[in-house]
Amino acid sequence: MVEENDVAERMSALSYRIGLELAELAPDGWWRLTASFAMTVTAETAVVFCTDERGRAVRVFPAEGVLALIREHRRLSAERDDEVWWRYLLELTGDGRMEVDYDYGAVPFPDGQLFAPEAYRSDLAVFPRKTLPVWLAAYLGHDDRQVRTPRRAAEQHLADRVAGREPVRSEPDLDFPAFALMARRWAVLAAAFVAVRSPLGPRITPGSGVFEGTSRSGSSLVWLPGDRAVLSGGVWDAPGLRAAYQEGAEMPAFYLGAPAWVAEPVLNGRAADGLLSFCYWWEDGAWHRGESPVSDDLAPAIPGIWTTDTVVEVVADLIGATGERRAAVAGLVAAAEAGVLERAHLAAVFGADADLDSAYFELSMAGATGKDTNR
């Protein structure tokens, strides 16, 4: 215990020195300094910004001496903890307050601070770990297991047919609403977030809907000619992915029995990173799936499209609608589901100051609008 306390004290002293060294780099008039150091045994990077009280920021570049202190701090963390940190985060204010935090990879590292897989493999050889976060395990070892090129899709489809492997066909309204209804509800939610100028929420692009949740789960809905569609994505830390990457289990057969057109160009980008955790496809008037979880387990990755009431609730909560305005939300959703929505429905819900044109465009791309008599 004494030795452990000694290491902790040395780490604390190092952080104090690091803060002092960084403060000396700050320009006159600075108020807040934020520093993020990413490090392995073979790669490192530093991002340090100083801002003044008006929020103006300037980047500064720490000298080798600071980086040497950071390396020593990381080495000591290996003595104190079961695993070393991969990112060292420091915040310092002009009145002397300092906060230090360590990032062990619970969530993916930000752009610019994620190294090539080889850097982490080398680091793990020096500082081994019992387990890796699912995202990092996938980053290092997905081995393109989820990639389904058109050629591979055709080969797998033929093999499934020869072997008699069939997908699960969903009962009506059991897993998801019918595709056309899902697309229109998705568009209503997208239109609501666009109308209030929020950077969050689902969106509609030509031929698809996209959604990235705040918990790093997300999905895409892609529609194809002939009343076909593909819904795919990933739930953060899904049990199937944990088992595959942390326990050595087989990757779930997400594409079991899938037609050949369920292929890379229409799949969520998580497949390329080995983080796809579900895939559904719509054909012959029903949703189908291989070894994907049931829809109840996918809520973090999909916007609230399950029922009309769900959509109304999400939009009403977004804008704080009650009474008559909430009734207008219900009218908007009903019109969109019927494919007859007009700009007047949007104006009644969001008001003239909202971005109604962009909201209407979202809805029009999903077939939720009727003849517009206001334009």
Mean of pLDDT over the chain:
93
Q: In angstroms, rounded to a whole number, what is the distance separating the alpha carbons of residues 117 and 56?
A: 35
pLDDT exceeds 60 at position 374: no
Cβ within 8 Å of residue 154, ≥6 positions away: 260
> What is the DSSP code string of 225-246?
TTTEEEEEEE-TT-HHHHHHHH
Cβ within 8 Å of residue 78, ≥6 positions away: 84, 127
161 sits in the region (left: phi over 0; alpha: psi -120 to 50; else beta) called alpha
Model confidence at 1, pLDDT cuts 50, 70, 90, reads: very low
Contact 136, 121 (CB under 8 A): no
User: Rounded mean pLDDT of 362-370?
Assistant: 95
- Which amino acid makes up residue 16? Y
Q: In angstroms, rounded to a whole number, what is the distance separating the alpha carbons of residues 341 and 184?
A: 10
pLDDT exceeds 50 at position 367: yes
**Domains defined for the chain, CATH in brackets:** 2-130 (3.30.500.20), 146-364 (no CATH)
Contact 146, 119 (CB under 8 A): no
User: Rounded mean pLDDT of 98-126?
Assistant: 94
Closest by CA position to 32, among listed 88, 90, 94, 89: 94
Per residue in 300-309, pLDDT tens? 999 999 999 9
Task: Give me the pLDDT at residue 96, please.
Answer: 86
pLDDT exceeds 50 at position 2: no
